[in-house]
Amino acid sequence: MNDSPRRFERIAFMASGTPEAEAARARLIQRYGDVSEDAADVIVALGGDGLMLQTLHHFRDKGVPIYGMHRGSVGFLMNTYREDDLRARLANATHVVIHPLMMEAVDAAGVRYSAPAINEVSLLRQTYQAAKLRISIDGKVRLEELICDGVLVATPAGSTAYNLSAHGPILPLGAALLALTPISPFRPRRWRGALVPDRATIQIEILEADKRPVSAVADHKEVRDIIEVTARLDKTSSMDMLFDPDHGLDERILREQFIY
């Protein structure tokens, strides 16, 4: 994180397409102007966490910070929407750098696929039968057999998305951890997942792949009939996010963990 003040004169506004977000974009453009994405000092994204995910993918490795304002249905990663003093808010915002997961998948035909994921890499059963998976961390088998609907590896940025709905832990954005979370585990019954250092390589092998086919998904990229997946954080790739100092993300993380 870097709290040094920066100047953001040239703003590009993006909206999710909903009437609420588009109306907000029009008002903000009238007030602050608008430039092309290539000329922008900052991107202001108006919508929910889904739009933030798309925007982060689009601007990955371009060095342009993304500042989200909540004009959607879900906004855990979005700042409060306010139209006043936008440039001052941008100058005073906290700067957070996040890195994507890189998924490497091999399908039954031996074809290899690579795709980045900002939220999570998830493995999901394709048919009525549960998946059988073997999980290794840095080459050491940690779970010989997991019978489940699936499993996911979530980044801190993605820990409030699918990972949270699968009862995985919420991770602060600055945590050097990944969440490894099962989806509807059947055996072992008491295994509820693990926290893994973000420097680790997670390998997941599909057992009985012919009988129990599995797909792998990196955010929006899906590969079907896989036999093996590895996921590791790619520290050579990055995206920049801006948060208001009073965004209260730590408080929201605590609050979510005490909802019952």
| Residue 51 in tokens | 């739009």
128: CB partners within 8 A, 6+ apart: none
Query: At 87, which helix (H) or strand (E)?
Result: helix 86-92
| Residue 149 in tokens | 């609907």
- Strand 42-47 with 11-15, pairing: parallel
**198: annotated active-site residue:** no
- Strand 66-70 with 42-47, pairing: parallel
Residues shown for the chain = 260
- Strand 66-70 with 239-243, pairing: parallel
Nearest to 237 by CA among 56, 65, 61, 63: 61
DSSP letter (8 states) at residue 79? B
Residue ranges for the binding site for NAD(+)?
49-50, 119-120, 149, 157, 160-165
**9 backbone dihedrals φ, ψ, rounded to 5°:** -85, -40
Output the CA–CA distances (angstroms, integers) from residue 152 to 7, 167, 170, 178, in the order listed: 38, 11, 14, 10
Residue ranges for the binding site?
49-50, 119-120, 149, 157, 160-165
Q: Of residues 49, 107, 219, 240, which has the active-site annotation?
A: 49
| Residue 157 in tokens | 């940025």
Decide: helix, strand or coil at residue 174. Answer: coil
Q: Which residues pair with 106 in a beta bridge?
A: 112, 228
Q: Which residues are catalytic?
A: 49
